[in-house]
């Protein structure tokens, strides 16, 4: 028998009110935790995919679209850029590393990226099976693509024009052959089909009847060769001020800064997140109010109990502690349930999004900010219990018993 | 055992209680008589230390209550004074045994389940330890209230109108229970009542009389 037993017995004696308070708090906490988990993992994922890429260069158009299409591969490109201009920029003295990308086709919704082995090196990709491509039409597939399609080394498939499951027409003439499967890296590579950029040229060289794909470079005129985008790494910090302006003013291309565009994207998403967060805070606040009202009403029903406890020898501080404990117990239960709820919702959301092949979100991780949410919930419980506890502290024993 | 002198109390400037002198010895059984509104409950509360009188001195078990700090007074009350309230007021969310354990806990005494069972058995409540207060009849609940008042072996047992709502047979039963329990703890028993039926059954009387 102690304060906890008594407090717990009172909460159990009013199961509906207790359940309502715990649920309200849990919903608020759960919503915020879900938001934290989702935005944290989304930002982490996007930051990782853009790491080491100082500038993305594409055809004139929206910089945001260039970033979304060339780095995250979740949008269509703005168009193509000329091979000659791309070569010039790649050789610019302020460019340390340039990775060309030739896009346009996909297989079962997974984008086919024509590039150079430097692209794999950039993300530190390792092979789970097979080898890297050595000739046009040889492909290496990401771990998720392999898992989803069941393809292994030796499999053959036709690319489909566009991005998406239904897609456009199939390129029947030139099948890709899988020569390697990448190990899972958690990066954008997991859901890409990778090949040399010459493969993309072969597939799209519609005015030529390509018999020998190995010397495609010689069969195309320089004006016919095209890339979709270039991923650049600067050689010097000075390049930030010079290179984007140079590209935008002196070439037919458009420069897009991943850092700037992702920050802009997050601030756009952030508005929605802020609205949801405010909504969750309102939930927590109303939970606090509900706890306050429940304890305050209970206090009226229990004023004789409190007076009797005083006659049995309880000091006022004990009654204060009793009410505070009840508020805290509700808060702890609400916070604990909310944490579980938030993580379960994140995991469920992760499974739903996985089907849409967008981003991976898991509930089996946690972020430091969750501690703040828990602290907020516990604080709410304590604050809500303060006034009732103070009234319990001030119980007028003789007056209450005389009226009773 | 207790000693009251020059005790006065007033509500809103109107005097409700004036006791010049009243002494009782350890183990004596007293009736505090007087009609409604004569200040019986106020006097009882003053004796229990839950009401601070406007003037006068109250000494219980050689302890001047007026000299005790708030915390010490709470503790003293829990350990030395047992109170049976008119409306009983058992804690509804706790079972019977827990109600008695609570009395031990709040008095700062060790929780002694054996003592609890013993007191319950002595009041014919041995099988009610796990019951909730709302499951009991009034008579049973009153016995639980008595059990809770004596579980800490008080030196002073106070009862406020314990027989007022009972028929003749039950009235005597309740009185005998209180007397037997007081005897068992060698406590001084004080019953505040306006019930004329029990007058002849208690040796010592203190009459507050009708006030002008």
Alpha helices in chain B (DSSP H): 40-48, 70-80, 96-106, 113-122, 138-150, 168-185
Burial A168-203 (b: 16+ CB within 10 A, else e): eeebeebebebbbbbeebebbbbbbbbbbbbbbbbb
Q: Which CATH superfamily is domain B27-53+63-207 in?
A: P-loop containing nucleotide triphosphate hydrolases (3.40.50.300)
Spell out the residues 6+ positions from residue A198 whose beta carbon is closer than 8 angstroms to its own.
Answer: A114, A136, A213, A216, A217
Q: How far apart are CA B132 and CA B129, in angstroms?
A: 8
Q: Under a CB-based contact definition with an 8 Å cutoff, are residues A111 and A163 in contact? A: yes
Tens of pLDDT, residues A13-57: 999 999 999 999 999 999 999 999 988 888 888 888 999 999 999
The residue extents of the domains of chain A are 3-46+265-403, 55-256
List the beta strands (DSSP E) in A86-137.
Answer: 95-107, 110-115, 127-130
Average pLDDT of the segment spanning A240-252: 93
| Tokens matching residue A9 | 């017995």
Tens of pLDDT, residues A299-347: 888 899 999 999 999 999 999 999 999 999 999 999 999 999 999 999 9
Mutate to test the interface with A, among B37, B105, B144 (most CBs of A within 10 A): B105
Query: What pLDDT is recorded for position B36?
Result: 81
* Residue A177: band (very low, low, confident or very high) from pLDDT cuts 50, 70, 90: very high
Rounded to two decimals, the pTM is 0.81
The residue extents of the domains of chain B are 27-53+63-207
Q: Is the per-residue pLDDT at A89 higher than 50?
A: yes
List the beta strands (DSSP E) in A142-209.
Answer: 156-157, 160-161, 176-182, 192-196
Say whether A13 and B148 touch across the interface (CB within 8 A): no
Query: What pLDDT is recorded for position A358?
Result: 59
Tens of pLDDT, residues A62-80: 999 999 999 999 889 999 9
Q: Is the per-residue pLDDT at A356 higher than 60?
A: no
Q: How far apart are CA A241 and CA A221, in angstroms?
A: 34
Say whether A9 and B104 touch across the interface (CB within 8 A): no
Average pLDDT of the segment spanning A172-184: 91
Say whether B74 and A305 touch across the interface (CB within 8 A): no
Taking the CA of residue A304 and the nearest CA in chain B, the distance in Å comes to 7
Size of interface A-B (CB pairs under 8 A): 83
Average pLDDT of the segment spanning A373-396: 93
Weakly modelled stretches of chain B, pLDDT under 70: 210-212
Element (H, E) at A138: strand A138-141
Q: Give chain B's end-to-end CA distance (angstroms, integer).
A: 30
Taking the CA of residue A390 and the nearest CA in chain B, the distance in Å comes to 17
Helix (H, G, I), strand (E, B) or coil at A251: coil
Helix (H, G, I), strand (E, B) or coil at A228: coil
When mean pLDDT is compared over A202-211, A280-289, B124-133, the highest value belongs to B124-133
CB nearest to A10's CB, from B42, B75, B93: B93
- Sheet containing B29-33, strands listed edge to edge, beginning at the edge strand earlier in sequence: B81-84, B156-160, B188-193, B29-33, B204-207
Say whether A6 and B85 touch across the interface (CB within 8 A): no
Interface of A with B (CB under 8 A): 1-2, 5-6, 9-10, 12-13, 304-305, 307-316, 318, 397-398, 401-402, 404
Interface of B with A (CB under 8 A): 41-42, 45, 48, 50-51, 70-71, 74-75, 77-79, 83, 85-87, 89, 91-94, 98, 101-108, 111, 148
Query: What pLDDT is recorded for position B170?
Result: 87
Q: Is the per-residue pLDDT at A94 higher than 90?
A: yes
Tens of pLDDT, residues B102-156: 999 999 999 999 999 999 999 999 999 999 999 999 999 999 999 999 999 999 9
List the one residue out of A342, A340, A330, A336 whose CA is nearest residue A288.
A330
Angle (deg, nearest 10), helices A258-301 and A15-50? 170
Proportion of chain A above pLDDT 90, given as a percent = 65
Q: How far apart are CA A200 and CA A121, in angstroms?
A: 20
- Count of CB atoms within 10 A of residue B24's CB? 20
Q: Is the per-residue pLDDT at A188 higher than 60?
A: yes
ipTM entry: 0.93
Query: What pLDDT is recorded for position B212?
Result: 42
* Residue A357: band (very low, low, confident or very high) from pLDDT cuts 50, 70, 90: low
Q: Is the per-residue pLDDT at A168 higher than 70?
A: no
Tens of pLDDT, residues A97-129: 999 999 989 998 899 999 999 999 999 999 999
Taking the CA of residue A389 and the nearest CA in chain B, the distance in Å comes to 17
Q: Is the per-residue pLDDT at A144 higher than 60?
A: yes
Q: Is the per-residue pLDDT at A5 higher than 80?
A: yes
């Amino acid at each position: 028998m102690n304060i906890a037993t008594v407090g717990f017995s009172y909460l159990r004696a009013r199961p509906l009110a207790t359940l309502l308070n715990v649920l309200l708090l849990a919903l608020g906490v759960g919503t915020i935790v879900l938001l934290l988990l989702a935005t944290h993992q989304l930002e982490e994922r996007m930051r990782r995919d853009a790491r080491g890429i100082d500038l993305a260069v594409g055809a004139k158009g929206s910089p945001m679209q260039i970033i979304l299409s060339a780095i995250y591969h979740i949008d269509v490109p703005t168009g193509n850029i000329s091979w000659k201009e791309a070569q010039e920029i790649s050789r610019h003295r302020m460019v340390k590393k340039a990775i060309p990308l030739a896009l346009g086709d996909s297989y079962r919704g997974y984008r086919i990226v024509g590039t150079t082995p430097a692209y794999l090196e950039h993300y530190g990709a390792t092979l789970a099976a097979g080898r890297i491509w050595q000739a046009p039409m040889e492909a290496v597939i990401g771990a998720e693509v392999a898992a989803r399609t069941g393809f292994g080394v030796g499999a053959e498939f036709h690319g489909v024009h566009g991005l998406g499951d239904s897609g456009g027409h199939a390129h029947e003439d030139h099948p890709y052959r899988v020569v390697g499967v990448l190990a899972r890296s958690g990066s954008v590579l997991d859901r890409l089909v990778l090949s040399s950029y010459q493969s993309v040229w072969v597939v799209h060289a519609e005015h030529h009847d390509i018999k020998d794909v190995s010397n495609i470079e010689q069969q195309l005129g320089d004006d016919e060769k095209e890339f979709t985008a270039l991923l650049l790494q600067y050689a010097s910090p000075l390049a930030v001020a010079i290179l984007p302006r140079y590209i935008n003013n002196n070439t037919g291309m458009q420069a897009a800064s991943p850092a700037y565009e992702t920050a802009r994207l997050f601030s756009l998403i952030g508005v929605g997140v802020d609205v949801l967060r405010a909504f969750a805070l309102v939930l927590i606040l109303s939970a606090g109010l509900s706890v306050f009202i429940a304890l305050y009403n209970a206090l009226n029903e229990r004023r004789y109990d409190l007076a009797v406890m005083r006659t049995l020898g309880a000091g006022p501080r004990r009654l204060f502690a009793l009410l505070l404990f009840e508020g805290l117990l509700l808060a702890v239960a609400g916070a604990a349930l909310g944490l579980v709820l938030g993580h379960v919702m994140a995991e469920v959301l992760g499974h739903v999004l996985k089907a849409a092949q967008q981003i991976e979100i898991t509930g089996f991780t946690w972020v430091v900010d969750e501690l703040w949410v828990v602290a907020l919930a516990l604080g709410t419980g304590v604050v809500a219990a303060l006034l009732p506890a103070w009234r319990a502290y001030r119980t007028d024993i003789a007056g209450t018993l005389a009226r009773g | 055992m207790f000693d009251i002198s020059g005790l006065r109390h007033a509500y809103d400037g109107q005097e409700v209680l004036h006791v010049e002198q009243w002494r009782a010895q350890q183990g004596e059984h007293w009736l505090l008589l007087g009609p409604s509104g004569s200040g019986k409950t106020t006097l009882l509360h003053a004796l229990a230390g839950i009401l601070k009188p406007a003037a006068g001195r109250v000494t219980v078990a050689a302890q001047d209550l007026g000299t005790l700090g708030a915390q010490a007074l709470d503790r003293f009350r829990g350990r030395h004074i047992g109170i049976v309230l008119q409306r009983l007021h058992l804690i509804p969310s706790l079972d019977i045994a827990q109600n008695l354990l609570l009395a031990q806990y709040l008095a700062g005494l060790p929780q002694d389940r054996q003592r609890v069972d013993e007191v319950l058995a002595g009041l014919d409540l041995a099988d009610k330890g796990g019951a909730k207060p709302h499951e009991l009849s009034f008579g049973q609940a009153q016995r639980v209230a008595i059990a809770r008042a004596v579980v800490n072996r008080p030196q002073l047992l106070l009862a406020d109108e314990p027989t007022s709502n009972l028929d003749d047979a039950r009235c005597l039963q309740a009185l005998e229970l209180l007397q037997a329990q007081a005897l068992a703890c060698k406590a001084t028993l004080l019953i505040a009542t306006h019930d004329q039926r029990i007058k002849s059954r208690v040796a010592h009387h203190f009459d507050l009389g009708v006030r002008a």
